[in-house]
Structure 1
Amino acid sequence: MLLRQMKYFTAVVDCSSFTEAAERCYISQSAISQQIQALEKELGVELIHRSNRKFTLTAAGEYFYAHSKSILSQVEELTRETKQLGTDQERRLRIGYLRCYSGLELHEAIAEFSRIYPEAAISIVNGTHEELYDLLRFGGVDLVLNDQRRAFSDLYVNFELMRCGCYAELSLHNPLSKQETVSLEDLKRIPCILIASREQQNAEQEYYQNTLGFGGSYLFADNLEEGRLLVVSNRGFLPIESVGTLPPAGSAVCRLPIFQSGQQLTRNYCAFWRKERSGYYVEEFAELLRKLLHQAPR
């Protein structure tokens, strides 16, 4: 039994006419008659008793008509709610950013995006590189602001934002704070403070140690504020990247560029999103963020 046949049947009853029902359903009168006959054949009962040009409903027809109206109403409501849900999903933007990120441009981009597109609901989450990658991979977010740690994948839009310099935040009580720059060799003598959840500590340490070349020991903080409190208490140094405009280091902290082989260490920052999830809001936000980052004073 097709929903279409139920619609045809209820239309005939509502119109009290096969001709008017056919016009309402945009089919021929013969076609609507055939569909109702097929429905009766499938049910094995007569729904409409025909007499010359008039018809009346049988008891089975009365029963089927009442329940068909109820079912069709429920189907319409289901269709409407499903479409609404789909529209709501298209009007949201879920953003992920690095837990150690502190640039001001992300906040500015979110504020400006909300001003331009007030109908879009924005949700924001932070995490380590691998946590953000998993969120993106499994559909937990639409877009992430992340550092590049692996080769670009064809499954994603790899929207490069900027290449930024690496810095070390140090307590003014640390002797290295008297220098203009610090080298990786200098930093091996003090603990490196990383922002990472307990589950991601090993992955973060392995990357900083084996890929970036940070030696020495490691301390971990759950968030940026906690990491900076460790710096203030002279427990170690906090590596950060200048992705846009960084807030002032504070009266008890200095921020020095990290050098390696005579050049400042740099990192590549990108906005990533899955190609099949690409859409107007995602693309507009990424472009807005990149524009703000490149307008930031150097």
Structure 2
Amino acid sequence: MLLKQMKYFITIAECGSFTEAAIQCYISQSAISQQIRALEADLQVQLLIRQKRHIELTEAGKYFYRHAKAILKEVEHITEETKRLGEDHELALRIGYPKNFSLHELQQAITQFYDLYSEVKISIVSGTHEELYELLLQGKIDLKISEQRRTYNQDYYNDELKYSESYVEIASVHPMAKKPILTTEDLKSMSCILVVSKGYEQSEKNFYEKDLGLSHQFLYVDSLEQARLMVVGNRGYLPIDVIGHMDIPVKGIKRIPLYKNGKPVQRNYFVCWNKRNTNYYIEEFAEILKNIFN
């Protein structure tokens, strides 16, 4: 059995005519008829009932049509992916993650992925939500991990990882460190410390101020380590999301759940990538990451 015979059969089934199918396949009617007879002889079963003006599929033909179409689609995908991989001088996977993201699960996912696909070179970059969004749009990363701040774009896959619980890290010496929970109202008089890349301060400020209702006073740092040094020094509080394993805060810092309007603040995290640029390795890494969180 040849793939071209499967293609001819599918075309005939969809056209309902040998004549029309022959035209679409750029082959003579006698030649396409001969190929279908050879296919039936190979399978030792009748696939078509030939009438004067139309054809009908037998039960075996209907079964063969459904599965042959799926096989050809898979062959097309394999062919395209093989060509793409053949054109790449080096297999690479570029991952973007938030600056305040717990690295434990990400490291675990990378380790599992590399055990399976050691030929793939993995590079990672951290950034703010807006920064990672721009990198993905520009094709500078293959997929990003971030919370949902926009409506879904139909051009991208958005696979949910987990709802995060939002917390506040505050100096242990601060009077509010004794509270079991902290509300956005409690924090209005304090400075909010944000981990943000240079040039993205305003977009992060807008989100935390308008969407989460946090304080109007903001301090900006480039790393989580710098932010926690400021917290220990009682310079302000650090909002942080816990969506997986998070190390116990260092001495001098208290981590307290954040509430708004009487309810815990939660944020939904996703792994996102462009449908047009998807490939086996991106999809496999996303699946590994989802399994770790779930």
TM-score of the two chains, using structure 1 as the length reference: 0.69
Letter paired with 1:186: D
Give the secondary-structure state (helix, strand or coil) at the position aligned to 2:150.
coil
CA distance in 2, matches of 1:187, 1:284: 41
Aligned to 1:34: none
Letter paired with 2:121: A
Measure how far apart 1:216 and its partner are.
Answer: 3.3
Is 1:171 the equivalent of 2:159? no
CA distance in 1, matches of 2:139, 2:283: 17
1:1-298 to structure 2, matched below 5 A, reads 86-89=87-90, 91-294=91-294
Aligned to 2:54: none
CA distance in 1, matches of 2:87, 2:111: 25
Structure 1 pair 98/185, CA: closer, same or farther in 2 (3 Å)?
Answer: same
Contact 1:232 1:253 in 2 (8 A): yes
CA distance in 2, matches of 1:289, 1:108: 8
Measure how far apart 1:85 and its partner are.
Answer: 6.7
Measure how far apart 1:161 and its partner are.
Answer: 0.7
Contact 1:103 1:242 in 2 (8 A): no
Contact 1:227 1:238 in 2 (8 A): yes
Structure 1 pair 170/274, CA: closer, same or farther in 2 (3 Å)?
Answer: same
CA distance in 1, matches of 2:86, 2:218: 46
Aligned to 1:9: none
Structure 1 pair 172/83, CA: closer, same or farther in 2 (3 Å)?
Answer: closer
Measure how far apart 1:287 and its partner are.
Answer: 1.3
Measure how far apart 1:146 and its partner are.
Answer: 0.9
CA distance in 1, matches of 2:226, 2:86: 39
CA distance in 2, matches of 1:251, 1:182: 20
CA distance in 1, matches of 2:177, 2:128: 28
Alignment deviations for residues 176-209 of structure 1 (CA, whole Å, 9 cap, x no partner):
1101110000111211000112200011001110
CA distance in 2, matches of 1:134, 1:103: 22
Cα RMSD after superposing both structures: 1.5
Give the secondary-structure state (helix, strand or coil) at the position aligned to 1:208.
helix
Structure 1 pair 137/83, CA: closer, same or farther in 2 (3 Å)?
Answer: closer
Runs (4+) off by over 4 Å: 82-85
Letter paired with 1:172: S
Measure how far apart 1:128 and its partner are.
Answer: 0.8
Alignment deviations for residues 30-77 of structure 1 (CA, whole Å, 9 cap, x no partner):
xxxxxxxxxxxxxxxxxxxxxxxxxxxxxxxxxxxxxxxxxxxxxxxx
Structure 1 pair 154/214, CA: closer, same or farther in 2 (3 Å)?
Answer: same
Size of the alignment, in residue pairs?
212
CA distance in 2, matches of 1:84, 1:286: 19
Contact 2:190 2:215 in 1 (8 A): no
Letter paired with 1:214: L
Structure 1 pair 83/276, CA: closer, same or farther in 2 (3 Å)?
Answer: closer
Give the secondary-structure state (helix, strand or coil) at the position aligned to 2:144.
strand
5+ long unaligned stretches in structure 2: 1-82
TM-score of the two chains, using structure 2 as the length reference: 0.69
Give the secondary-structure state (helix, strand or coil) at the position aligned to 2:206.
helix
Measure how far apart 1:83 and its partner are.
Answer: 7.7
Give the secondary-structure state (helix, strand or coil) at the position aligned to 2:199.
helix
CA distance in 2, matches of 1:248, 1:83: 44
CA distance in 1, matches of 2:86, 2:208: 42
Report the structure number with the largest CA radius of gyration.
1
Letter paired with 1:272: C
